């Protein structure tokens, strides 16, 4: 599926983006400001969809991750996110490997990918930080951004989120599969902080 998306729809979208760029130059040269504005707007939509497709392709690819691969994978995921989204992103982790089952490593990787996708699509953030640390008998994953926040104010536990039917459904499902917990802090136009914890031994 990932290859079909890349070789088909993705190439078509990239080709369309290139044609839009040529059209923008023509409009600028011939002084068509109204058309230039509309073309620029359409190009932004196309580029946003290209990013969405790239993320879908990444999420569709099966990855085998073990203790030695998880931290480098997360680091590269955050770096790629910054390159492709133009949102300043930083990965903070002082470990070289995470002693976790492969199944848990896989879920953690997907949680980070999903969280970053949500930041790009919904937050309007200009900065995001992903922290991954081990604290006594648990792992802690924190994603912080400076965007517009969620559609609620304050600190919500996982139970609060479930009761209110709020929060990122995909992330909640994945963290439950590894025996994890989550809290979200959010304030209007002051960003959001997602903290995920799970046992050091994995589930």
Closest CA to 27 of 40, 15, 17: 40
Question: What is the widest separation between alpha-carbon atoms in the chain?
Answer: 65
pLDDT in tens, 115-141: 999 998 888 999 999 999 998 889 999
In sequence order, what are the beta bridge partners of 182? 196
Q: Thinking of the domain 65-199, which architecture would CATH place it in? A: 2-Layer Sandwich (3.30)
pLDDT in tens, 60-114: 666 777 889 999 999 999 999 999 888 999 999 998 888 899 999 999 999 999 9
Q: Answer whether 0.85 is exceeded by the pTM.
A: no
Residue 10 pLDDT grade (very low, low, confident, very high; cuts 50, 70, 90): low
pLDDT in tens, 24-61: 888 888 787 888 888 888 888 777 777 777 767 666 66
Give the Cα separation of 127 and 116 in Å (integer): 11
- Of the CA atoms within 13 Å of residue 13, those in its CB half-sphere come to 19
Domain ranges, ordered by start, for the chain: 2-59, 65-199
pLDDT in tens, 142-154: 999 999 999 899 9
Contacts of 139 (CB under 8 A, 6+ apart): 98, 100, 108, 132, 133, 197, 198, 199, 200
Mean pLDDT of 147-169: 93
């Amino acid at each position: 599926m990932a290859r079909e998306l890349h070789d088909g729809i993705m190439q078509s979208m990239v080709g369309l983006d290139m044609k839009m760029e040529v059209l923008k130059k023509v409009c600028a040269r011939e002084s068509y400001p109204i058309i230039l504005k509309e073309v620029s707007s359409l190009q932004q939509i196309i580029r946003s969809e290209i990013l969405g497709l790239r993320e879908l392709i990444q999420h569709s690819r099966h990855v085998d991750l073990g203790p030695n691969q998880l931290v480098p994978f997360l680091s590269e995921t955050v770096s790629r996110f910054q390159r492709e989204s133009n949102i300043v992103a930083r990965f903070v982790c002082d470990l070289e490997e995470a002693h976790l089952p492969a199944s848990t490593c896989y879920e953690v990787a997907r949680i980070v990918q999903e969280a970053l996708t949500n930041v790009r699509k919904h937050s309007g953030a200009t900065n995001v930080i992903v922290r991954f640390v081990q604290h006594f008998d648990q792992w802690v994953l924190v994603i912080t951004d400076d965007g517009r926040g969620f559609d609620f104010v304050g600190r919500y536990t996982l139970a609060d989120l479930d009761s209110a039917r709020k929060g990122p459904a995909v992330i909640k499902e994945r963290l439950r599969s590894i025996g994890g917990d989550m809290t979200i802090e959010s304030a209007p136009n002051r960003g959001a902080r997602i903290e995920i914890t799970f046992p050091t031994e994995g589930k």
